[in-house]
Each structure stands twice: as C-alpha cells, then as structure tokens.
C-alpha cells in the first residue's frame, strides 16, 4: 500500500522523480505514491527538497519526518 497508518503517524511508500517540471504528488503508481520534485538527485539535494515539500504538504516540522530506507538512490 502506498499509505499506511502507524502508531506514530503515516508511512508513505514513495517513488520519487527528481529534476521534474514541478513539485507535486502525482498519485498512485502501483503500490507507491509518486512524487515529483524539481531538485536534481545530486549531493542529497533531492532528499532535502523532498523533506521540505512533505513538511509543507502535511503541515508538520521537518524533524517529524523520518526516513526508513532509500535516502540514496
């Protein structure tokens, strides 16, 4: 499933497309949530940008978002 509720909040299974035309949640892509961001996948820029984007979308502090896997492609 793309989105799962846990004791601590939500667990998102994301497929990320960096260096896209705009930042957006595209929708479901199989069992994952497809998100596009404008940042390039260089030196952690895509991950930092994704963190900022998710923080704004879900109205939570960046410190409340945890990575479980996939910080590096």
Q: What is the pLDDT of residues 22-70, one digit of tens each?
A: 999 999 999 999 999 999 999 999 999 999 999 999 999 999 998 887 6
Quick one: pLDDT at residue 71? Answer: 59
- The whole-model pTM stands at 0.87
The hierarchical CATH code for the domain 3-62 is: 3.30.1200.10
Cα distance from N-terminal residue to C-terminal residue, the chain: 21
Q: Give the sign of the dihedral formed by CA 56, CA 51, CA 13, CA 25.
A: positive
């Amino acid at each position: 499933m793309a989105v799962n509720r846990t004791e601590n909040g939500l667990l998102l299974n994301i497929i990320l497309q960096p260096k896209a035309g705009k930042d957006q949640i595209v929708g479901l892509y199989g069992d994952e949530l497809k998100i596009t961001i404008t940042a390039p996948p260089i030196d952690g820029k895509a991950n930092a940008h994704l963190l900022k984007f998710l923080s704004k979308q879900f109205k939570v502090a960046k410190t409340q978002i945890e990575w479980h896997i996939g910080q590096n492609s």
